[in-house]
Amino acid sequence: MKKKIVLIDMDGVICDYTQRMLDLAVERFNLPQYKAGEVLDFYTEKIFPEEVQTQVEELSLERDFFLSLKPLPESIEAVKEILDDPRFDVWICSSPKKKGEWCHSEKFLWLRKYFGQKFAEKLVLTRDKTLVYGDYLIDDKVSILGVNKNPSWEQIVFNQPYNQAFQGKKRMDWKNWKNVLV
């Protein structure tokens, strides 16, 4: 039996990128405190006034930002279950920041911390996920565009408050993955 290749995004899927951005915005700029569930835009900084959005977005370029991300609830356990499932070959497929020198290495180190060296070596960092081969891509961003207009994978939208209005693709969270990945 041929294993299905499952590509899993990091930020917003297994890592809580949004809450870290919100917490740092309060800490650094004394902005109002929000919870991740209140963010209704993929771009977290857009919850704040326009004049501080660039500064808030640049927080993710700082050293230790990606290393400091907490796992989303149930993500570690669920990914480990998928890794143990003989039907799947699991890879992490994440987009690094366009600028900033820490993102690449910290994503690798984060994976190594939570999953070990062997799985961390299955990290694919790309600005264009359409070029990566797989059967499924689990991602919280609803529109994955790139050079390849017909990627090999079927996207499964990972449920987040900011993507609830989107329809037309399979959806999942870490509680129902067994019903979605087939």
Question: Using one digit for the tens of pLDDT, what is the confidence trace for 36-90?
Answer: 999 999 999 999 999 999 999 999 999 999 999 999 999 999 999 999 999 999 9
Report, at the CATH architecture level, how domain 4-15+69-180 is classified.
3-Layer(aba) Sandwich (3.40)
Largest Cα separation within the chain, whole Å, is 55
Query: Which residues is 156 bridged to in the sheet?
Result: 138, 170
Tokens of 37: 């569930």
- As a whole-number percent, the residues of the chain with pLDDT over 70 amount to 100
Cβ contacts of 30 within 8 Å, gap of 6 or more: none
So which residues are the catalytic ones? 9, 11
Contact 121, 89 (CB under 8 A): no
Question: Using one digit for the tens of pLDDT, what is the confidence trace for 98-154?
Answer: 888 999 999 999 999 999 999 999 999 999 999 999 999 999 999 999 999 999 999
Nearest to 163 by CA among 135, 141, 179, 133: 141
For residues 33-50, one letter each, b for 16 or more C-beta atoms within 10 angstroms of the residue's C-beta and e for the rest, the string is: ebebeebeeeebbebbee
Alpha carbon distance 48, 134 (integer Å): 36
Give the residue extent of every domain in the chain. 4-15+69-180, 17-61
**Confidence check: pLDDT of 182 > 90:** no
Residue-wise DSSP of 74-140: THHHHHHHHHH-TTEEEEEEEPPPSS-SSHHHHHHHHHHHHH-HHHHTTEEE-S-GGGS--SEEEES
Question: Using one digit for the tens of pLDDT, what is the confidence trace for 139-154?
Answer: 999 999 999 999 999 9
